[in-house]
Amino acid sequence: MGVGNLKKIKKKNIVLIFTDNQQASTLGCYGNEEIHTPNLDLLSQRSFTFNNAFCPNAFCSPCRASVLTGLLPSQHGVHSWIDDRRSNEWPIGWHALDGLNTLPEILKSNGYETALIGKYHLGEPKTPMSGFDHWVTMADGHVRSFFRNEIFENGSNYFHEGHSVDFFTSKAVSFLKKNTNNEKPFFLYLPYPAPYGHWPATQEKDECRHSERYKDCAMNSVPRESLSREAIKNYDMVKSQSGKGMDYSMLLRAPNDLDTLRNYYAQISMVDDGVGEIISTLDELSLMDETLFIFTADHGLSVGHHGFWGHGAATFPSNLHKAAHSVPMIIRNGDETKIGQRSDLMVSNMDIFSTILDVTKIEQIDDSISVPSRSLLPILSDQITDWGQDAVFSEQEETRVVRTQKFVYFKRFKDSKNFNLDDELFDVENDPKEQKNLINEPHYLSVKNKLDQLLEDFFKIYSDSKADLWNGGKSLQNSTRKALWKNAWGDDWEPVYQYNSDVKKTLK
C-alpha cells in the first residue's frame, strides 16, 4: 500500500495510549480487587471493553511494530526486543520500520498532526521515526528507571529527574492544548514506559505517590507458584547476557518477591493517574466526543503465573500463556460509542491499525500486501455480521500460537537438530489457568490437527520470506534464540539491520 494511494475523507482525532508490559487482569475493570485504577475503570464504563484481547508477540518492540504497521513479526521482521545496549553498532539514524507503511506516515499524509510522546523502542531515539511531526521520547528502550531519564525532544537533549509517567503525561497534555484549535486532526501516540515490571526499574528504592498504597498489600491477586523447568532452562541460556542494566537472574528471583510486585502495582496506578489526566484534558477541551480514544498494552507480563516472570520468551521453549499473551483493550469511539458494552470475541491489539484507518475513513487502495490486522469498527458499532475465524494468531520466534475461546495451541519449530521442542495444547474453557497439556491425549488429536492446519494456512498468507524465521529468514537487530536458528540454518545466520531490497515491495 503506497502512502500516496489513499483517499482523504473527514477524520477524527486519535489518542492511542500504550502501557508497557501489562496483562489485562491487573486492572479493576478486568476483575482485579487489589489494584487502584479508578480512571481506567471509569473509562471502561464510558467505553467499549474487549475481554479477549491479545498481542501478536510478547516482547515490546515486535508488538509496537505490529500495531504501527498491522503486520506480524514474520512480515515486518522485528521478532525480539530491540537491544539498546548495542546501539553503538546501529546504522546512523536507524529505525526498524523504515520502508514499511506505518500509521504515522499514513495519517500525516492524510492531514494529521502526529506526535509520539513516550517510549519508542524501535530504533534510534534521537531522531524522529518517519511520519511523526512531534517527538518526545527517552533514551532507554529497556527501562532502567522510572526516574532520572535522558530525554530527546524535537532535536533537543536533556535529563529529567522526575517520574517518567508524569513527565510524558504533561507533555501529552501540552500537545493536546496546543492543537485544540488546529484545523488539522491530531494523532497522539502515548506509549508509557510503565508499569514495566523488570529490574532494575521495579527494584529501585525511589517511591512514587502510590507506593504507600501497596505497602502492606497481600498481593493475593498474583498466584504463588514454584519455578517452572522451562524458566530455569531459559535462564541457563541467557544468563551470560546480563549486564548494562539487564539482570537475567530476576527471571528466577522476582516471582514471589513482594517488593517487586508491590512496586509493579504502584506503577500501574501511576499510569491510571496519567490516563485520567489525559481524559480530563480532552473533556475540558470538549474533544472527547470527537476523538477515537484507545487504551491498551504492548503485551502481557507474567508476574509468577506458570512459574515464570516476564515475557513469553522467559521460558524455553517460548510460550504465550494467557498471563504473557493477554492485554487490556478499551476503546471509546467518540460520540458513537456503545457505552459500557463488552465483547468476548477474540481480537489482537494489532487490529488497532486497521481500526484507525476504518474509523478515520482512510481507505487502502493498494491491496498487494496481505495485512492480518482486522478493523474492530463493526464490533464497536454493534454491526458485526461475520468476524471470520474467532481466533488470534501470534508468534514468539520458535513458538507459533493460535488461541480461540475454547483452546490454545503452541506449535514449536521442528527443523533444528539440537533442539527437540514439543507442542502444547490447552483446553482454556475447562482449564483457564492452562495447567494441563493435552497434546498427547488421543481424544484431542483432531483438535490439534485442526488448529495446526489453521496456523499453517495463516502463516502461508501472512509471512515474508526475508522475515520468516521458520523458513530461513532473519530477524531485525536481535534474536533471543540465535543458537537455535544457527543450528537450523547455518553458523552464518545472524540478525540484520535491514533487508537487501525494499521490504514494502516484497510483502505478499
Q: CB count, 10 Å around CB of 252?
A: 17
Cell of 427: 483446553
Q: Does residue 45 sit within a domain?
A: yes
Q: Enumerate the H helices of 350-481 as residue ranges.
A: 352-359, 377-380, 445-461
Q: Does 1 score more than 50 pLDDT?
A: no
Query: How many domains does the chain divide into?
Result: 1
> Can you give the pLDDT at residue 407?
98
Distance CA 469, CA 210 (A): 43
506 pLDDT more than 70: no
Residue bearing cell 497434546: 439
354-387 burial by CB neighbour count: b if 16+ within 10 A, else e? bbbbbbbebebeeeebebbbbbbbebbeeeeeee
Whole-number pLDDT of residue 383: 84
| pLDDT of 7 higher than 50 | no
Domain containing residue 247: CATH number: 3.40.720.10
The whole domain housing 196 covers 13-390
404 falls within a domain = no
- What's the pLDDT band for 8 if we cut at 50, 70, 90? very low
Q: Position 109: which residue type?
A: S
Q: What is the mean pLDDT of residues 162-175?
A: 98
Is pLDDT at 64 greater than 60 in this prediction? yes
Whether the predicted pLDDT of 507 surpasses 60? no
Asked whether residue 440 is domain-assigned, the answer is: no
397 within domain boundaries: no
Tell me: pLDDT of 232 over 80.
yes
Q: Which of 9-23, 226-240, 345-359, 488-502 has the highest mean pLDDT?
A: 345-359
Q: Say if residue 508's pLDDT is above 70.
A: no
Residue 137 CA to residue 2 CA, distance in Å, equals 28
% pLDDT > 90, the chain: 88
Question: pLDDT at position 363, please?
Answer: 78
Report, as an integer, the average pLDDT of 187-211. Answer: 95
Largest CA distance in the chain: 64
Residue 348 β-bridge partners: 54
Question: Rg (Cα) of the chain, in Å, rounded?
Answer: 21
Give 356's contacts (C-beta < 8 A, 6+ positions apart).
14, 16, 103, 107, 292, 294
Please tell me the distance from the alpha carbon of residue 237 to that of residue 504, in angstroms, as a whole number. 34
Other CB atoms within 10 Å distance of the CB of residue 490: 9
pLDDT number for residue 239: 87
Give the separation between CA 250 and CA 503, rounded to whole angstroms.
37
9: number of Cβ within 10 Å: 10
Helix residue spans in 285-368 (DSSP H): 322-325, 352-359
Instruction: Indicate the pLDDT class of residue 245, thresholds 50, 70 and 90.
Output: confident
Per-chain mean pLDDT for the chain: 93
- Residue 261 belongs to a domain: yes
Which distant-in-sequence residues (6+ apart) come within 8 Å of 99 by Cβ?
Answer: 498, 502, 503, 504
Q: What per-residue confidence (pLDDT) applies to 4?
A: 44
Encode pLDDT of 265-306 as tens digits: 999 999 999 999 999 999 999 999 999 999 999 999 999 999
Mean pLDDT in residue range 153-172: 98
Residue 195 is assigned to a structural domain of this protein: yes
> Do residues 421 and 317 lie in contact, with contact meaning Cβ atoms separated by under 8 Å?
yes
Q: Report whether pLDDT(366) > 60.
A: no
Please tell me the predicted confidence (pLDDT) of residue 244.
77
The CA distance from 227 to 234, in Å, is 12
Phi, psi torsion values for 368, nearest 5 degrees:
-75, -20
pLDDT in tens, 379-438: 999 888 789 999 999 999 999 999 999 999 999 999 999 999 999 999 999 999 999 999
- Side-chain-facing half-sphere of 137: CA atoms under 13 Å: 26
- The answer to whether residue 356 is domain-embedded is yes
Does 63 have pLDDT greater than 90? yes
Within a domain: 290: yes
Q: What pLDDT is stored for residue 386 in this prediction?
A: 85
Q: Are 299 and 191 in contact (CB under 8 A)?
A: no
- The per-residue pLDDT for 251 is 87
**What is the structure's pLDDT at 104?**
97
Nearest residue to 380 (alpha-carbon basis) of 322, 297, 300, 293: 293
Quote the pLDDT of residue 428. Answer: 98
Place of cell 495444547: 425
